[in-house]
Structure 1
Amino acid sequence: MTLIAILMATLAAGIGSVWLAAALMGLGVLGRPGPQRGLGAQHLLSLAAGALLATAFMHLLPEAFESQAGAKALFATLLVGLVFFFLLDKAELWHHGHEHHHDDAGHASHDHGHDHADAHHHHGDHGHAPRPGGSWAVLTGDSVHCFGDGILIASAFVADLRLGLVAALAVLAHEVPHHIGDLVVLRQTSANRHVALVKVSLGGVVTALGGITGWWLVDQLQDWLPYF
């Protein structure tokens, strides 16, 4: 029964978030050029962050305090987790800015020696040219991300059914702005928007694989996990 609930929840969170993102983009709520797109994505991202924080502080932490683990160990784990993800976020921002710096330098050196009209025309073409390898990088990163989401949802379901449902909803809300970015990138590298939607949906299916793996790992490591 738990495994069936995990499969349904992970598929709903993994694929449902993709289709919800596509629907919002199709309605023009998100994904439009200009400041409206950034504002809408920020609002949705803030909603997802609030859902994840509420899940952690109102469900996960109280559940952990009811276990046999000491308060000092729990807060140490919380601190390590916060610092780790903070550093991970900073590393991602640094890498993203580093890539943009090299791209700008490459554009400048490539356009050197051309007249102003040719350089402007070439720069415009280069900015809109699709990168075939970029789609695979996006799909690989998205699949790994969805796999981790599946493990999270499965772990929550094993602890408590209601906690699993809350975790699945939080993951769904969290993934919508993430998948909007994926769809925007893949639409530039795919033949049409339907192909991009199928590709991102297949990445969302990996959430179910992560759910099965998480369910199996929790069952195998039951004696080693303090919160189950």
Structure 2
Amino acid sequence: MSVLSWIVAMSLTGGALSVLAAAVFALKAKAHWVSHLISYAIGALLGAAFLEVLPHAITANGDAVGTTATVLGGILIFFVLEKLVLWRHCHVESCEGHEPHAHGHENRRSGLLIMVGDTFHNFVDGILIAAAFMEDIRLGIITALAITAHEIPQEIGDFMILLHSGYSKSRALAFNLFSSLATVVGALMAYAALGKMQTAVPALLALAAASMIYVAVADLIPGLHKRPEIKATVQQILLIGAGIATIFLSHRTIDHFLG
């Protein structure tokens, strides 16, 4: 497969699978499964950021200080974007749209805001996936897998907000699927642009690492602290470890598969 084929396939498949999995969980699965998914996603994101994406960015750039400075700047950028509600997440059950007093037009606006933010988020994910694949196919696959892992609990939150906002199950699914196409759009636009700007790939990889670290540490981990009991804490640690192990083992498996 060509690099472009990998980019399109992983962007399209990852987005669709995360939305469909989220729909199944939101409609069929038990609520406590979501917290397990979030713990696993944290491990996958941190594993991909520190074991795969960041090392590749440093190697490609040849400047460890410059690369880590880009990561630091990226974390600050994502913080500002989220503050401005341009990057909107709903990873945990206590988000705005789940409050029982939210209803009517206010609740519908929450659902619309979530979809706008999620579409932007998916577009950026597509850019990061394309940058990773243009650096190395193995890195692209790992990056796409990590992004898909954290998209599932996020899409569950988005799906539930749309249902609470008054959307039917079919419309909520359709809107989430449509939003996921922004990943493909972002990936294709990045592929066209980065083909002429290959020197930008290391910086985008550093931003990809910053995105993964920020989502894991700022958005996901705080939700885990709402369950401080020993049993829940042990489960969280084991699932985070499982997420990290998945990335490590995926690297070995992909290396064997691609030869």
> TM-score normalized by structure 1?
0.73
Distance 1:137 1:76 in 2: 32
Query: What displacement does 1:29 show?
Result: 2.8
Residue aligning to 1:29: 30
The answer as to 2:47 corresponding to 1:43 is no
Superposition CA RMSD, Å: 2.8
Superposition map of 1:25-174 within 5 A:
25-30=26-31, 36=32, 40-86=33-79, 127-129=102-104, 131-174=107-150
Which of residues 159, 165, 173 in structure 2 aligns to 1:197?
173
Conservation of the 8 A alpha-carbon contact between 2:21 and 2:152? yes
Query: What displacement does 1:134 show?
Result: 3.3
Conservation of the 8 A alpha-carbon contact between 2:131 and 2:191? yes
Deviations 1:7-56 (A, max 9, x none): 110111212101001111232233xxxxx3xxx33332221121111111
Distance 1:68 1:200 in 2: 36
Tell me the secondary structure at the aligned position of residue 182 of structure 1: helix
Residue aligning to 1:207: 183
Query: What displacement does 1:133 show?
Result: 3.3
The answer as to 2:218 corresponding to 1:218 is no
Distance 1:74 1:169 in 2: 23
**Given the superposition, is the C-alpha separation of residues 139 and 156 from structure 1 closer, same or farther in structure 2, using an over 3 Å criterion?**
same
Larger Cα Rg: Structure 1 or Structure 2? 1
Distance 2:190 2:36 in 1: 31
**Given the superposition, is the C-alpha separation of residues 225 and 162 from structure 1 closer, same or farther in structure 2, using an over 3 Å criterion?**
closer
Distance 2:81 2:38 in 1: 18
Residue aligning to 1:117: none
Give the unaligned 5+ runs of structure 2: 90-95, 206-259
Residue aligning to 2:257: none
Deviations 1:110-151 (A, max 9, x none): xxxxxxxxxxxxxx8x64435443333222111101000111
Distance 2:102 2:81 in 1: 28
Q: Which moved more, 1:146-155 or 1:190-199?
A: 190-199
Give the unaligned 5+ runs of structure 1: 31-35, 97-102, 104-123
Equivalent pairs, count: 191
**Given the superposition, is the C-alpha separation of residues 83 and 183 from structure 1 closer, same or farther in structure 2, using an over 3 Å criterion?**
same
Distance 1:197 1:217 in 2: 31
Conservation of the 8 A alpha-carbon contact between 2:26 and 2:159? no
Distance 1:199 1:68 in 2: 39
What percent of counterpart residues are identical? 35
**Given the superposition, is the C-alpha separation of residues 129 and 190 from structure 1 closer, same or farther in structure 2, using an over 3 Å criterion?**
closer
**Given the superposition, is the C-alpha separation of residues 3 and 84 from structure 1 closer, same or farther in structure 2, using an over 3 Å criterion?**
same
